[in-house]
A and B are shown apart, each in its own frame.
Chain A
């Protein structure tokens, strides 16, 4: 096992009075893909959104416990959320490009970081698009609106947009759930490529996908982390009955 990147200690999260996550303890390794699986409403997306403090946007959310990244508690008071999010990219379930050109979508992140030099921006845009394996498809239409791209292309554009900010961790919230099999395949290939350089956490309710792309799998159920381990182990000989039942499709 590689070095550990993210550690949570007794992470408990409430939506108002309702408990959504109950004392989660997990260690997520660096530069590998970790998949969160479980039936909908089990807390896996909520947990993912805690990792870049996206849940801060919801006023009713209360969090107890710790999330350590590189040993640093990101919920500490003096942590700058804006800079934190620059280091932790996020790709959403529904592709959400801005109503701007392809170029400007990618350049958005660098621009808000104060990079306005055209040459440098062009360089970043090209690198990001290449790394997201979409460069060949869009290189001739960079000034066109990103909304004109197909769903799969839009999602890879969103990944490229995330890469342009140079994060270390990429969180993916069911990135392929709205895509056709071919586009899904491309995203999965891309994830495989990206894990060389990034720590990737992916939420999915597609178990085949989890089995295909991830090195580690965590199974969530009703806000609890039921089982966590090597993907191969989870999918072949899980220790806990609930996991087995879910994986074999007996519930969820």
Chain B
């Protein structure tokens, strides 16, 4: 059996060891590398396509009022047959509607039955406000519709009125921005302190065995679908909070903000916790050795050292709330009011897209404006993420190294 291994002299020869081309090796590497670029490609594609679809908003600046109104009048069938749409942008959806609508008449009908009737207390929904815009603002929160007659043009984006489907459509984004910021602020005022304190408890005060339980438990909250949180807010929390605070409108930015805080808490908690535990133990040991108590060390040493990470956590929390759609749709009341009162209904940017996209005419101004809102959301979120990333990377590293050295 040793004969198997008997060697002839000089087996390490240039011929036997000549570099071989292995196709599968080459192919696998190229394939894997190109797939890995997909993530970058998706980001670019998202930016490109969401922005591209928002172009109608700019194009229709010159469109006559009549045309826009025509589109609006056709609106009830929305997804269904719409000659106006086909004429306006024949290449996008031509021939689509006539066949789509009859085939599945039942599929898309539901979306526009969102009415004010079933929830009289919820302030109704501006989306269908072609008829009801007068009722929407009994408090006079809004500038009355006659005062600023936007022509469904781009300039109306900066107005205070969001009446996309009225006879004289106006696409003022101000109330949407006000609403979104209001909800975000309320959510963060609640979520940030709770999540940061919880993270502090978990990383600094809790015994190890308890920590092993807290982290996964809060991660489970992150796994709750936002539609479930929205449903809980709509059915349970809204009534509860109304009973406690005694305000008039059941669904409002306060309820929505608190509900969204539930979605933001796990995000802020996890990142803050990571940032706190990443602070080198030598810091706290040094502090404890100087006679500081546990809480003094946690608050005056660990917490400041982790500030960049906590800041990033809050930024990502803001991003989460800012783009949250289902909770906003279900719990904020969806009325585009620019009031600063936290107990009034609001309509957020993301909710506007979610509520109205299914029934716009493809390619018209309203469609474009919704995509424009999407572009804004995307850019805002991208910036937040980049900022958070920069903060964690540059500041945290510099801070810890700078002090450690």
Contacts and interface: CB of A to CB of B under 8 A. Distances in A.
The answer to whether any beta carbons of A and B sit under 8 Å apart in the complex is yes
Interface of A: 3, 69-72, 74, 76-80, 82-84, 87, 127, 130-131, 166, 168, 196-198
28 contacts: A70-B13, A72-B14, A78-B14, A78-B18, A78-B19, A79-B17, A79-B18, A79-B19, A80-B17, A80-B18, A80-B19, A82-B20, A83-B16, A83-B20, A84-B17, A87-B12, A127-B4, A130-B1, A131-B1, A166-B5, A168-B7, A168-B11, A168-B12, A196-B2, A197-B2, A197-B5, A197-B6, A198-B5
CB-CB nearest 9 A-B residue pairs: A70-B12, A69-B12, A70-B10, A197-B5, A80-B19, A72-B12, A78-B19, A80-B20, A79-B17
Central interface residue in B4, B7, B11, B18, by most chain A CB within 10 Å:
B7
Contacts of B18: 78-80
Nearest to B3: A197
Nearest to B13: A72
Interface residues of B, number: 18
Contacts of B2: 196-197
Contacts of A168: 7, 11-12
Interface string B92-125: 0000000000000000000000000000000000
Contacts of B7: 168
B17 A166 contact: no
Given A77-B19, A80-B17, 5 more contacts: A70-B12, A74-B17, A78-B14, A82-B22, A84-B17
B332 to A, nearest CB: 52
A131 B4 CA distance: 11
A82 B16 CA distance: 12
Contacts of A198: 5
A3 B19 CA distance: 27
A98 B238 CA distance: 57
Interface in B1-46: 1-2, 4-7, 9-14, 16-20, 22
B11 to A, nearest CB: 6
Contacts of B4: 127, 166
A131 to B, nearest CB: 8
A196 B3 CA distance: 11
A67 B299 CA distance: 59
Contacts of B13: 70, 72
Central interface residue in A3, A70, A78, A83, by most chain B CB within 10 Å:
A70
Contacts of A71: 10, 12
A246 B265 CA distance: 61
A131 B6 CA distance: 14
A82 B11 CA distance: 15
Nearest to A197: B5
A74 B19 contact: no
Contacts of A77: 19
A166 B5 CA distance: 7
A131 B1 CA distance: 9
Nearest to B25: A82
Nearest to B6: A197
B5 A70 contact: no
Nearest to A31: B7
A3 B7 CA distance: 13
B5 A72 contact: no
Nearest to B1: A127
Contacts of B12: 69-72, 74, 87, 168
B5 A83 contact: no
A199 to B, nearest CB: 10
A185 to B, nearest CB: 23
Contacts of B11: 70, 87, 168
B21 to A, nearest CB: 10
Interface in B112-144: none
A82 B19 CA distance: 9
A72 B1 contact: no
Contacts of A78: 14, 18-19
Contacts of B1: 127, 130-131
A84 B20 CA distance: 11
B188 to A, nearest CB: 43
A69 B5 CA distance: 18
Nearest to A79: B17
